[in-house]
Amino acid sequence: MRLSAELARWFDNELWQHEGSGEYREPIPPSDLIETFPEAIWPGLMPPDFLPVLGNMAGDWLCMRIGPMGEVAEIVQWYHGGGDWLPWGNSLAEAIVFDAISPWLPGPSRRHAIPAEPMRASQSTASDPLLDWALGELSPKIGAMIAEAVIAEAVTDANASRGEKLAKQLIGCGIAEVALQSEWVQRLLSDAEASALDADMGLAKRLGVSRQQLNEWLFDFEFMPAEIRAKVLADRHPHQDWDLASEHCRRVTQIAPHLAWGWDLLGYAAIRSGQLVEAAKYFAQGMTRSVFTDQSIRLRTHWKVQQAGKFSAAMLQELLDGGRFSADDIASEYDPDYLAALCAGEETRQELVTEYWLGRSDRSSLAGNYAAAFDEAYAAGWDLGAATLPAYGQVLDRLVEIAEAGGDAARAELARTHRRCLSDRLGI
């Protein structure tokens, strides 16, 4: 593994011996990371190119995602409640800064499931060695800007506009941009009173509709019937800015094309504006991205889960079935066999998707294209997720084999470590 100068300083200066005051405040000692069975690794659920570095003492981790050259490609927040993940920065310093300012950012801060412990509403940053280190790793201008807003406690719940201003400034500087864009899009597509309906698990039953139908209405308020709005929102008309949200999503697809959620929302926004062929192309891109990157609960795209394994796949299939444009217009954009696997019944789709990607990986390996073979074998386990735990063992074995053949030593060893953890804890 090749550590950046920043990460080398993190380990060499023993910052991992200190506890911070943010949510992700518990560093992992390097000795723990090189154990035979690192406790922080969740084999199967956690992707095999993730190496945890900071925890929140509730099972969630900030992880280094290792790239094909052994580099740390990005720092991601990995959520144990479903395996979903989101980049929090290109560096550990960016991720720590995002953690520090997150309580005051615009957006509803929805989680993927009920957290193991409550999210902090605020924190004291007056004495936080991890944040102090992170600010020192950024440029003096950015460090001073954040220090003024956070350490001086200029950003407070009573002054949320400062949080919004800070988010804009950091996005402009490219700091934790993907995570900040995610918060911003949630804000543009949310309404305070409508968002509160998420927590009312009995609401759908009282309204006489399915939870799936209610989720669809909350995703796009335009389709909420007037009689329902009268019951739950007192005839208020919640506002969503789909145009501005699509601009933010377009930026996300440019800087992080490996994430699903930007493509998902960009495609839906294109449908709303009548651009069906463009929407289909966006969905074709989105459906090849891991379902663990779709932010489906936070962004409410999970109402399509019964129809297909991914929102993009369900929407693309609907567009094709609707016959409002020629399938030839997008024939080069997607593989019909893959779309069929994603749209199969819930009891078979994971197995079909795993088989699809393993078949592609085998063909790439035979052609000597080990980079593609690794990505495809990776997708066999972490596109929709494998159907059984033993299947993860088979995929991890395959990843080790491919990485070694392709000279990808760092990811071979990391996948081997995940494989050992799977065997040790689950006997697989």
pLDDT tens-digit map of 329-363: 899 999 999 999 999 999 999 999 999 999 999 99
Higher pLDDT, 168 or 418: 418
Confidence of residue 153 (pLDDT cuts 50, 70, 90): low
- Global model pTM greater than 0.85: yes
Tokens for 382, please give them.
Answer: 């972490």
In sequence order, what DSSP letters do the residues of 191-258 get, joined into one string? -HHHHGGGG-TTHHHHHTS-HHHHHHHHH-GGGS-HHHHHHHHTT------HHHHHHHHHHHHHH-TT
Does residue 109 surpass a pLDDT of 60?
Answer: no
Hey, what amino acid is at 3?
Answer: L
- State the pLDDT at residue 235: 65
Task: Tell me the mean pLDDT in the region 291-310.
Answer: 92
Given a cut of 90, whether residue 151 has pLDDT beyond it is no
* Helix or strand run (H / E) with residue 373: helix 370-382
pLDDT at 204: 83
Q: Could you tell me the pLDDT band of residue 140, with boundaries at 50, 70 and 90?
A: confident
Q: Is the pLDDT reported for residue 312 higher than 50?
A: yes
Q: Which residue has the higher pLDDT, 66 or 142?
A: 66
Share of the chain above pLDDT 70, in %: 90
Please give the pLDDT value at position 152.
53
- Comparison of pLDDT for 213 and 118, the residue scoring more: 213
Residue 239 pLDDT greater than 60, yes or no: yes
Residue-averaged pLDDT of the chain: 89
Across 35-44, 118-127, 253-262, least confident range: 118-127
Q: How far is it, in rounded angstroms, from Cα 396 to Cα 419?
A: 6
pLDDT above 60 for 182? yes
Q: What is the pLDDT of residues 37-52, one digit of tens each?
A: 999 999 999 999 999 9
